[in-house]
């Protein structure tokens, strides 16, 4: 006699697929003080980015005769709100065009926290799976309580034994260390006026998952691009879609891999992003779809999600002279 288990198929949401380009190329991820510096500062940024964007495209052409590459730009409207979309976006597009660049997709950083009434950051937070270091016994509170995510064992607190002897200092340990540890402890959120404020690295991790086509809500795609049909952009950030398609590009927003071009001051933030991605339990259906489709095109992706994200960190104008003065 065999036991047969019956289960409602509707109980498990079907993971819907999303269009995928070969590469998502980010042309900017700046803070409001960068915009506040005016068109000249933006022009310098795009002029530098253009050099590296050409190199990235040439590299992609080595892997595919006709690479599908979409470009995107992220505006920080989460931590501070400067100016209005009506004033800021035309300036961004104009300076990008002067440098020979085209921005296909424009995103608001606040949409990495909440988009179309979906709590994206909260959803990703619940998918975090901490890597317990060897020899630990659950004495450390979980990330859901502390808001801090490490890549190993923190330095134990100095304590006194029952006999009065003080236990000596012990170093932190990276879980997957090779010869020596590189220990990191990343703050995912803080509390301000009783409200949770997500950190820049955590929102950037959500942004990477979206660009890699790996975000879902009950099986449905999230951060779906919306065309901007009006001539003028709104005067209120909340009236701008979370993700806006600005061109008639046929390359999808999400892609098998991402490449981000940004100033080198963001290096520490993106190191933290990779730590978060390494400990996120990504939707299995979305992972399978991307793996199968990329392999079918002869461009298989790495198993580790963090390895699908690449970066070019450039030196900002003025960095060298400032270093010489100090």
Confirm whether 175 is domain-assigned. no
User: Would you say residue 3 lies in a domain?
Assistant: no
Question: Which range marks the domain in which residue 312 is found?
Answer: 13-126+190-325
Distance (Å, whole) CA 254 – CA 214 = 9
203-234 pLDDT, tens digit per residue, is 999 999 999 999 999 999 999 999 988 778 99
- Going by C-alpha positions, the residue among 271, 276, 269 that lies closest to residue 131 is 276
Whether 118 shows a pLDDT value over 80: the answer reads yes
Tokens encoding 64: 């595919």
- Residue 255: inside a domain: yes
Q: Are 68 and 23 in contact (CB under 8 A)?
A: yes
For residues 163-169, average pLDDT: 65
3-state class (DSSP) for residue 225: coil
Q: Is residue 200 part of a domain?
A: yes
d(CA 111, CA 127): 18
Closest Cα partner for 92 from 106, 108, 81? 106
Is 167 domain-assigned?
no
Element of type H or E holding 51:
helix 39-63
E-strand ranges in the chain read 21-30, 69-75, 105-108, 148-150, 152-153, 173-174, 185-187, 189-192, 195-198, 216-217, 220-221, 226-227, 243-245, 255-263, 309-314
**pLDDT of amino acid 294:** 96
Please report whether residue 131 resides in a domain: no
* pLDDT tens figures, 60-75: 999 888 999 999 999 9
- E strand or H helix at 296, and its extent? helix 284-296
pLDDT score, position 164: 58
222 part of a folded domain: yes
pLDDT, tens digit (0-9, with 9 covering 90-100), for 22-63: 999 999 888 878 888 889 999 999 999 999 999 999 999 998
Give residue-wise pLDDT tens across range 277-303: 999 999 999 999 999 999 999 999 999
Q: Domains in the chain: how many in total?
A: 1
Evaluate whether residue 233 is within a structural domain: yes
């Amino acid at each position: 006699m065999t036991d047969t288990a019956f289960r409602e198929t509707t109980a498990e949401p079907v993971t819907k697929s999303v269009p995928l380009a070969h590469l998502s190329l980010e042309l900017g991820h700046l803070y409001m003080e960068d915009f506040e510096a005016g068109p000249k500062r933006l022009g310098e940024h795009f002029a530098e980015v253009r050099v590296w964007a050409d190199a990235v495209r040439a590299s992609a052409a080595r892997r595919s005769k006709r690479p599908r590459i979409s470009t995107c730009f992220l505006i920080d409207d989460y931590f501070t709100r400067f100016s209005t979309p009506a004033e800021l976006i035309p300036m961004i597009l104009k300076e990008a065009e002067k440098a020979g660049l085209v921005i296909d997709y424009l995103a608001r950083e606040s949409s990495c926290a909440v988009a179309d009434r979906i709590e994206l950051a909260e959803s990703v937070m619940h998918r975090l799976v901490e890597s317990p270091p060897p020899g630990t016994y659950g004495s450390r509170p979980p990330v859901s309580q502390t808001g801090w995510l490490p890549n190993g064992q923190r330095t134990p607190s100095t304590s006194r034994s029952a006999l009065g002897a003080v236990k000596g200092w012990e170093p932190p340990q990276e879980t997957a260390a090779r010869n020596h540890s590189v220990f990191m402890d990343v703050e995912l959120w803080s509390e301000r006026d009783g409200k949770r404020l997500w950190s820049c690295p955590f929102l950037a991790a959500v942004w990477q998952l979206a660009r890699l086509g790996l975000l879902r809500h009950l099986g449905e795609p999230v951060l779906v691009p919306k065309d901007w049909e009006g001539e003028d952009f709104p005067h209120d950030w909340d009236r701008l879609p979370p993700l806006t398609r600005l061109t008639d590009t046929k390359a999808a927003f999400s892609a098998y891999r991402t490449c981000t071009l940004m100033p080198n001051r963001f290096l520490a933030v993106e190191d933290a992003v990779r730590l978060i991605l390494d400990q996120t339990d990504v939707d299995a259906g979305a992972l399978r779809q991307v793996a199968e489709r990329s392999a079918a095109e002869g461009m298989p992706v790495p198993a580790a999600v963090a390895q699908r994200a690449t970066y070019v960190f450039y030196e900002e104008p003025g960095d060298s002279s400032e270093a010489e003065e100090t």
